Chains A and B, each alone.
Chain A
């Protein structure tokens, strides 16, 4: 079993504390079937994958995937990114990922043997440069609404543990003004209200618990690279089987124009599969993680 990142430094008064859904994410990403799929999808040598966790909270899911990337992705040269509405969560995630990398990759040796006697340092083949101390890197935590601040095609692996609880309405989205505190002057009740508001952002999903998830899903064809994959968690009330069917019918982002003068049309299709689940009750899964990706025809 791969180690779970330490979150002892995270202030949980406004940040979601790792729970059953977070751990389902860790179990799913490190399952034999997902690891096999991911290693095949992102096999080196290919460009370093970018990994974005949307609404990263404590950062435990992102840190787990990044720090264990040699095992889960077959490579350590990954670029970690995070967004969260809550500035405190951005700071916490940055620390969680950095600590997990430091803890788990200090003695990591690459799986690739680098003992080829012919491998001169200036060789043409990058593989002979295999650096046994290769370390992943966290690029940034960005305070942002979902993936809105990332440019088209920029993300290879996107992780989202959304606010999925059905509620009457979704809370208003915070604006820059919500974080220009003033905290010292706040009364106890004002502070309590602020903390309750920020916590509600971590769970309140509106109608069917799908309002925020639907927004993120609608943005996937834009933000994912052609080889990109999204992992999104759903609960039973979100009707995961219907969500999977909807995704399979997507037509956005399937015609891709090649770079430069060579314009090429590519036909593909959107795929969605249940990659992990927990808590089967009367034949229905309580929590499900769906893998979303595009495939060439």
Chain B
């Protein structure tokens, strides 16, 4: 599971849908793996507008990545190769292999095994 995925995920519990704190989910005990792929600046340019920047910042921070820019890069900042390479590494090359994703609202933890996050709920939460 590439780290960028977390930008699109939220808690599966119905009661959490309306709660702001159910996004982003928080990684716990995440075991990361780097799988190098070709650097494609155009791809990163086109992904950036699709990203919720605050959610990404929270995630990068919690996982101990080097600080990413406070604001979403636009205009000239998109031509800063180092920033684009850092984002490429963070978004597309870094995978979560094992660990948990936790909801900040209900506290439920979703297990990640071999890169597959399990969002099936126990019967009492369905």
Contact in complex: B117, A129 (CB < 8 Å): no
A167 at the interface (CB under 8 A from B): no
Chain A residues 113 to 157 lying within 8 A of chain B, measured CB to CB, are: 122-124, 126-127, 129-131, 133-135, 137, 139-145, 148-152, 154-155
Instruction: Please indicate which of the listed interface residues A137, A155, A174, A178 has the most CB atoms of chain B within 10 Å of its own CB.
Output: A137
Residue total for A at the interface (Cβ-Cβ under 8 A): 48
Selected contact of A137 from candidates B2, B11, B117, CB within 8 Å: B2
A197 at the interface (CB under 8 A from B): no
List of A residues within 8 angstroms of B115 by Cβ: 94, 140
Residue total for B at the interface (Cβ-Cβ under 8 A): 39
A48 at the interface (CB under 8 A from B): yes
Contact in complex: B42, A129 (CB < 8 Å): yes
A184 at the interface (CB under 8 A from B): no
List of A residues within 8 angstroms of B82 by Cβ: none
- The residue in chain A whose Cβ has the minimal distance to the Cβ of B22 is A151
Q: Which of B26-34, B46-54, B58-66 contacts A (4 or more CB under 8 A)?
A: B46-54
B89 at the interface (CB under 8 A from A): no
Contact in complex: A44, B46 (CB < 8 Å): yes
- The residue in chain A whose Cβ has the minimal distance to the Cβ of B8 is A154
Contact in complex: B123, A175 (CB < 8 Å): yes
A96 at the interface (CB under 8 A from B): no
Chain A residues 7 to 32 lying within 8 A of chain B, measured CB to CB, are: none
Known pairs A91-B116, A175-B123, A176-B122; A130 contacts B42 (CB<8 A): yes
Contact in complex: A81, B116 (CB < 8 Å): no
List of A residues within 8 angstroms of B43 by Cβ: 48, 77, 131, 134, 137
Contact in complex: B12, A134 (CB < 8 Å): no
Selected contact of A151 from candidates B23, B37, B117, CB within 8 Å: B23
A254 at the interface (CB under 8 A from B): no
Contact in complex: A175, B126 (CB < 8 Å): yes
Selected contact of B120 from candidates A77, A152, A174, CB within 8 Å: A174
Selected contact of B119 from candidates A48, A122, A148, CB within 8 Å: A148
A79 at the interface (CB under 8 A from B): yes
- The number of residue pairs between A and B whose CB atoms lie closer than 8 Å in the complex comes to 132
Cα–Cα, bound, A241→B49 (Å): 37
Contact in complex: A81, B5 (CB < 8 Å): yes
List of A residues within 8 angstroms of B9 by Cβ: 142, 149-151
List of A residues within 8 angstroms of B123 by Cβ: 175
List of B residues within 8 angstroms of A129 by Cβ: 41-42, 45
Contact in complex: B40, A134 (CB < 8 Å): yes
Known pairs A126-B45, A135-B38; A176 contacts B5 (CB<8 A): no
- The residue in chain A whose Cβ has the minimal distance to the Cβ of B120 is A176
Selected contact of A48 from candidates B23, B47, B75, B118, CB within 8 Å: B47
List of A residues within 8 angstroms of B68 by Cβ: none
A173 at the interface (CB under 8 A from B): yes
List of B residues within 8 angstroms of A124 by Cβ: 75-76, 79
Cα–Cα, bound, A3→B8 (Å): 30
Cα–Cα, bound, A129→B2 (Å): 24
Contact in complex: A143, B117 (CB < 8 Å): yes
A238 at the interface (CB under 8 A from B): no
B87 at the interface (CB under 8 A from A): no
List of B residues within 8 angstroms of A46 by Cβ: 46, 49
A 52-91 to B, binary, CB cutoff 8 A, 1 in contact else 0: 0000000000000000000000000101010101010011
Cα–Cα, bound, A155→B10 (Å): 13
Residues of B in contact with A (beta carbons under 8 Å apart): 1-2, 4-5, 8-12, 23, 37-38, 40-43, 45-50, 75-76, 78-79, 92, 111, 114-123, 126
Known A-B contacts: A122-B79, A144-B119. Give 17 more (CB < 8 A): A44-B46, A79-B47, A85-B120, A91-B116, A94-B116, A126-B42, A130-B42, A131-B42, A135-B40, A139-B1, A140-B117, A142-B9, A144-B120, A145-B119, A145-B121, A149-B11, A176-B118
